[in-house]
A = this chain, B = another copy of it.
Amino acid sequence: METHDLTLITIVAEPVLEERITRECMQLGATGYTVIEARGRGSRGIRTGDIPGQNIRIETLVSEEVADRILTRASEKWFPHYAVVVWDTPVRVVRGEKY
């Protein structure tokens, strides 16, 4: 069984940001992502204009290098303007050679 050590980035944001965030993640080197509908409450004001409390949860499995790029982008470009929460965690991926 072949495994790879990768980084799982999770992003919680307003639904209106889905297209922008997933596009930028792909531009920064991600090769895929998963989006889940969620709802919530947060100190960063996770909320949307149309449906109170609704948000999205985006996950992407990336290399450490791509992870650093996405976290830097989040810190510099998303945080100053939007209610976004971003975290990463190391994971072990089966047959991760495509990431």
Task: Give chain B residues whose Cβ lies under 8 Å from the Cβ of A27.
Answer: none
User: Which of B40, B87, B93, B94 is A8 in contact with, Cβ under 8 Å?
Assistant: B87
This protein's copies in its complex:
3
| Distance, CA A88 to CA B98, complexed state (A) | 17
Task: Give chain B residues whose Cβ lies under 8 Å from the Cβ of A46.
Answer: 32, 34
Task: Give chain B residues whose Cβ lies under 8 Å from the Cβ of A94.
Answer: 71, 74-75, 79, 86-87
In the complex, 25 of the A-B residue pairs with CB atoms within 8 angstroms, ordered by the A residue number, are A1-B68, A1-B71, A1-B75, A8-B89, A12-B34, A22-B41, A32-B40, A32-B42, A32-B43, A34-B40, A34-B55, A34-B57, A35-B38, A36-B36, A36-B38, A36-B57, A44-B98, A61-B85, A71-B94, A75-B95, A79-B94, A85-B93, A86-B93, A86-B94, A89-B92
